[in-house]
Amino acid sequence: MSTQTREQMQQQLDQEQHDFSDMQSRHFSVRARMALENEALRKSFRGASDFLMNKRRSVFSDDNALQSLRDRGEAIRQYSLSKLPQLLETLEKNLTANGIQVHWAETATEACEIIHGILADNNARTVVKGKSMVTEEIELNHYLEEKGIECLESDMGEYLVQLAGETPSHIIMPAIHKNTAQIARLMHGRAQSSSGEPVPYTEDVDELIGNARAILREKFEKADAGISGVNMAVANTGTLCLVENEGNGRMTTTVPDLHIAVTGIEKVVEDFSHVPELLTLLTRSATGQKISTYFNMISAPRKAGELDGPQQVHLVLVDNGRSKIFSHPTLKPTLQCIRCGACMNHCPVYARIGGHAYGSTYPGPIGQVVTPQIGGLEKHGDMVSACSLNGACGEACPVRIPLPALIRELRHEANRIPTRDDSAVSGQGVKRSASEALIWRGWALAHSSPWLFRTMMWLLTRSRPLFRTALVTRLLSPWTDSRTTPLPQTKTLHELARAHGVASELKSHNETGAQR
């Protein structure tokens, strides 16, 4: 049991919420440092990353089978993207024939307006939401709340995060940054039954879930509308597919009379024969499950004679920068993503700073690739440097998105002289500073001239004694803040090689290298 009173917990929760918004208003490097200094947070992320990596490994025990499945997954996603405009039209045609109304939104604001319009037309005042990253991306909750519509997240993690006044820190496990004790305080301090009673304090996970279940079931029963995401949309049949474990997605799409599904335009596949491999890649990569508890395939609103299901189903197709990503010659594979989160689970940087430090809807490697392209390098250019290019994300990606190469490409976009091409990432060249460009130009000069290079390295080795001084240690900060000062050797390898008579050139050029 906790030694705090409910009032004390509420004060602490208010403080934490305040700290969260304070953190979100800071610069990337500050957010990262704040996260690194937060022991509890780091422990949560380390534990979660280890857990999820092990779970994934357990369902991919045969590496050849995994690689083969990834080949297929990549081929399906690339095929789908290569036919994207046609598939979207086919999808629209078939959904419409099935009775599902299709809407197109170019921007986040337009998507919010469309959704609000549908709700207003139906006098919907209360909305339950299934998990949907794209509605986080367009900041739908905020928009609807300003219009006086109650918008309740029903995925357990999303519910907890909403209760705390925060945003998700992971695309699959939104409350991954909180430990059980923090959630116990949150539920007791802020959750209320319909009669306004606080829920009793408990740290028992089954009880915590039971309490949230009771509150949310009432909301499902009463809600005017349900808003969900979509994991895959099948063009040939006009089907919306949703992957979930909790049942809240099914509740959201089945119980209220109105269902609005929202998806990015890239989620379409041509045929049902393309679905099974993507599904198995998705659940295995995300949470190490062979399959999720529910795979929910919706093709129509309630038909005559059917006893349940919404009377109206709408699909809002959101562009919000995706068609621009589509036009970029090298960044296009960004759109292959199936939003499994494996890249963040395997990212050593994410494991240390967590999702909120990125300050964006999508954190981790895929977030570093998507966010600057949607929101611009001006605002999100810093996060692309938060990558050691170690490749763990690319290795885990079920559809083989070359994430490290894309992050590097975005560094190039951020630092290059702006081209003003239509496909240029917004904020192209924003990180280019005259001094840094000059340094690299000088660096290139020194390293493309053997003589200059040898002279420079000679000087480096001859200044070895200086490297023992506090001055150099200070100059080499921040490297030396946590490491000893590296010490050059007394002679360069170029010198040693020459001194030992190692040839600089091959004597006879007609000699072949290998004895075959």
Find the binding residues for another protein in span 227-266 (CB under 8 A). 237-239, 245-248, 250-251, 254-255, 265
Q: Which stretch binds another protein (CB under 8 A): 18-26, 137-145, 189-197, 452-460?
A: 452-460
Q: Per-residue contact track with another protein, 321 to 340, x per CB under 8 A?
A: --xx-xx-------------
Whose tokens are 């006009």? That residue is 238
CA distance 226 to 250: 10
Cα-to-chain-centroid distance, residue 137: 11
d(CA 28, CA 292): 34
Query: Rule CB under 8 A: is residue 202 a binding residue for another protein?
Result: no
- Using CB under 8 A, which of the segments 11-19, 225-233, 362-370, 495-503 binds another protein? 495-503
Q: How far is the CB of 38 from another protein (least distance, A)?
A: 12
Whole-angstrom Cα distance, residue 343 to residue 396? 6
420 binds another protein (CB under 8 A): no
Q: Which CA distances in Å does 75 have to 68, 80, 236, 278, 336?
A: 11, 8, 18, 10, 10
> Which lies closer to another protein via its Cβ, residue 7 or residue 306?
306
Residue whose CB is less far from another protein, 18 or 489: 489
116 near another protein, rule: CB under 8 A: no
Beta carbon nearer to another protein, 144 or 187: 187
Of the pair 149, 396, the CB lying nearest another protein is at: 396
Site string for another protein, 459-478 (x = CB under 8 A): -xx----------------x
- Is 208 an interacting residue with respect to another protein (CB under 8 A)? yes
Angle, nearest 10°, between helix axes 403-415 and 364-375?
40
- By CB under 8 A, the residues from 282 to 321 that bind another protein are 287, 290-303, 305-309, 317, 319
Give the footprint of another protein on residues 337-356 (CB under 8 A).
Answer: 348-349, 352-353
Query: DSSP E strands: which ranges in 276-388?
Result: 294-298, 312-318
From the centroid of its chain, how far is CA 241? 20
Contacting residue, 9, 13, 275, 370, with another protein by CB under 8 A: 275
Opening angle at CA 407, ends 25 and 78, nearest 5: 120
Pick the binder of another protein from 40, 120, 389, 466 (CB under 8 A). 389
What residues between 163 and 192 interact with another protein by CB under 8 A? 173-175, 178-180, 183
Which residues have a Cβ under 8 Å from the Cβ of 32 and sit 6 or more positions away?
Answer: 353, 357, 386
Of residues 139-158, which lie at the interface with another protein (CB under 8 A)?
154-157
Give min distance, CB of 452 to another protein, in A.
9
Which residue carries 């809807």 as its tokens?
A: 361
Any contact of residue 435 with another protein (CB under 8 A)?
no
What token pair was written down for 82? 């290569």
Distances in Å between the Cα of 155 and the Cα atoms of 46, 104, 378 are: 23, 26, 33
Q: Which stretch binds another protein (CB under 8 A): 6-14, 136-144, 363-371, 485-493?
A: 485-493
411 belongs to the binding site for another protein (CB under 8 A) = yes
Tokens at 409, concatenated: 């490409």
- The contact mask relative to another protein for 67-86 (x = CB under 8 A, - = no) is xxxxxx--xx-xx-xxxxx-
Which residues are paired to 192 by β-bridges? 198
Q: How far apart are CA 446 and CA 509, in angstroms?
A: 28
Q: How far is the CB of 192 from another protein (least distance, A)?
A: 18
Q: What does the alpha-carbon distance between residue 155 and residue 226 come to, in Å, rounded to a whole number?
A: 12
What is 133-157 written as a DSSP string? Answer: HHHHHTTHHHHHHHTT-EEEE-SHH
Q: Does 415 bind another protein (CB under 8 A)?
A: yes
